Structure 1
């Protein structure tokens, strides 16, 4: 499969029609970790109650510590920062507060639909059962939605119940997710160290989920390459790929030749490999997180800076890419920040942002009618932003 692609103009100014408040645009967040989105002040208060020692008890300094520690270029080092957030999320009260504030922060960023992923098995140290943990988070999410709606803003959220790749609780967590499918859980995920812990370790759990028609997204194509993506699709029956950016390793770009003008962007030819073509042609959504992908080294095979991120290549060649913050605390970003980063890096305009947002809305783990309503709401919101 060969298609043309335009080389981004990295020196270009942002398109004029994105000269609006991006935060006000209605957005969809599909890849956002609960334990990666805490407020530093909340961590400090909960840590004091739990007797957990932190690197700093100053909210600004603590936020900077998380960002600096996560900005190492290593997924393993990045994941270490979660020791502190998970430590303060071991009680019903802690989980409730974190979940409620999580929703409020999403709404303040213009998110109208969000899927919140987290691993209940990591929150049992103080005696909670798996079901109690899920119920506490759901109560917090519902309280957050109520608080947001009381201010006249709409928001809808759902839980993505996650199993940790290095553990052996896949079947148990899959059953937990299905038990809560009508009580807040909208999907299943596996997360944690990707390299060395392939999806086929959870093959029976994925079969169980498929038998129960429960949707699955799988972290793949972040710390590991094409084999991980293929396994996510085959063993995991993944309907979406968490990150998935290394699908670009199966894409060949040839910018040979001269287009004859220094003022025009160079046009190259792109050849999709078999795996890339399969993902693209079937519209399997990619949950891309630009800042996080740079931090963890997920895009190091393509280059060093954000301009090397294959996001634009994937977008131009027809992949269903979506924009996500991954872990707002560790990356020091909001979803709006990620939108702005892509505008600045790839010269996207409002039409591009609308398409990327609609990609996410169409990929949401919602019934068709609700997805259609979400798509229309977002389209109307973007039209209003244009004046």
Structure 2
């Protein structure tokens, strides 16, 4: 995407068919990075206050720069854009503003529950402590929730505290997450370069989290394959897979042509033991279609959305969920992700409802709250 044809997805209306607004449908967001969802104008404002240089002078061209840089086909190159967003998230005021606007933007897109993930260790360059940055983000989240309520809306948000897998300080970040579990934190994650940094490197952190009953979701099956997913499940005790798209490597699809010994066109699907384990335990897959294209996570299957194994996983009964990953970098919203999936695979309103119910079931809320969330989704889709 170039500056010339860039048009921000935020605020755009997406429809199913000719007139049904996807934006207005109740949605659940499980995989959305705080430092990947900034408004371009906010980056400009905060960088001016901090005296930082930016790669573009105004909001439109800056948004276009992010979209262009992120379309590299490489997760490593994709991650480099975060140097810019993280640089303006180093003060309590900056963190609180970004978090508040994050909540407001999710609500504007119809999200009724969201889990926002971020890595506190990346926000310490101006002297803040780990606990101070978590408190600043939580303050911004609460301000955003209050602003939504004041306007007659309703949204709920939980923090997912992430440890950067290359820094080998998982136990410290796990302890941080547990300290704040009564103040907004609902779970733990590990992020950063996946290939070469398996969850097993942070086994002590995951042991600690298990001892304190804090749920985990792990980035796995994006830049690395089945071994990474296996480590997330058995070293990380993960209850969800962050992306998890490469789980499809453990699924064998065989097509037979008419006239062969099978007697006609047939498709045979065989699940490997890892795929079967994930399916049987209904572990949610946090799939992010646009991001998965941009980072090359689906390169072995193709380079277009139609090549994404999303539909294969859905048709086989996996608990697929739809996510944005990084709304700024991918120039997307949850409504847009649903719209392009519906357009590509022919999904209808019932399919979109299933994706939201899957996300509600996979959320880190208490069971009673998950049930209430599911009821809100059913009621909202029923009124559509």
Sort the TM-score into its range (normalised by shorter chain): over 0.9
SS at match of 1:76: helix
For the Cα contact (< 8 Å) 1:15–1:347, is it kept in 2? no
Task: Name 1:297's counterpart in structure 2.
Answer: 296
TM value normalised by structure 1: 0.93
SS at match of 2:182: coil
Query: What is the Cα deviation at residue 267 of structure 1?
Result: 5.5
Task: Name 1:155's counterpart in structure 2.
Answer: 155
Q: In the alignment, does 2:25 pair up with 1:29?
A: no
Question: Where does structure 2 lack aligned partners over 5 or more consecutive residues?
Answer: 1-13, 260-264
Task: Name 2:305's counterpart in structure 1.
Answer: 306
Query: What is the Cα deviation at residue 258 of structure 1?
Result: 3.4
For the Cα contact (< 8 Å) 2:15–2:21, is it kept in 1? no
For the Cα contact (< 8 Å) 1:44–1:59, is it kept in 2? yes
**2: distance between equivalents of 1:17 and 1:76?**
37
Query: What is the Cα deviation at residue 310 of structure 1?
Result: 0.3
SS at match of 1:238: coil
**2: distance between equivalents of 1:348 and 1:15?**
12
Between the two structures, name the one with larger relative contact order (CA 8 Å, sep ≥ 6). 1
**2: distance between equivalents of 1:123 and 1:17?**
43
For the Cα contact (< 8 Å) 2:306–2:344, is it kept in 1? yes
Task: Name 2:131's counterpart in structure 1.
Answer: 131
Task: Name 1:11's counterpart in structure 2.
Answer: none
Query: What is the Cα deviation at residue 222 of structure 1?
Result: 0.1
Q: Do the aligned partners of residues 304 and 51 (structure 1) sit closer, same or farther apart at CA in structure 2, a change above 3 Å counting?
A: same
TM value normalised by structure 2: 0.94
Question: Where does structure 1 lack aligned partners over 5 or more consecutive residues?
Answer: 1-13, 260-265
Task: Name 1:262's counterpart in structure 2.
Answer: none
**1: distance between equivalents of 2:35 and 2:245?**
22
In the TM superposition, what whole-angstrom CA distance separates every residue of 1:196-253 from its partner, at most 9, and x where no partner exists? Answer: 1110110000000000000000000000000000000010000000000000000011
For the Cα contact (< 8 Å) 1:18–1:349, is it kept in 2? no
Task: Name 2:277's counterpart in structure 1.
Answer: 278
SS at match of 1:332: coil
For the Cα contact (< 8 Å) 1:30–1:115, is it kept in 2? yes
**2: distance between equivalents of 1:268 and 1:235?**
35
**1: distance between equivalents of 2:123 and 2:209?**
23
Query: What is the Cα deviation at residue 15 of structure 1?
Result: 11
For the Cα contact (< 8 Å) 2:16–2:349, is it kept in 1? no
Task: Name 2:11's counterpart in structure 1.
Answer: none
Q: In the alignment, does 2:174 pair up with 1:174?
A: yes
Where in structure 2 are the equivalents of 1:232-251 lying within 5 Å?
A: 232-251=232-251
Query: What is the Cα deviation at residue 301 of structure 1?
Result: 1.0
Query: What is the Cα deviation at residue 257 of structure 1?
Result: 2.1
Aligned length: 367
**2: distance between equivalents of 1:242 and 1:293?**
11
SS at match of 2:189: strand
Q: CA RMSD in A?
A: 1.5
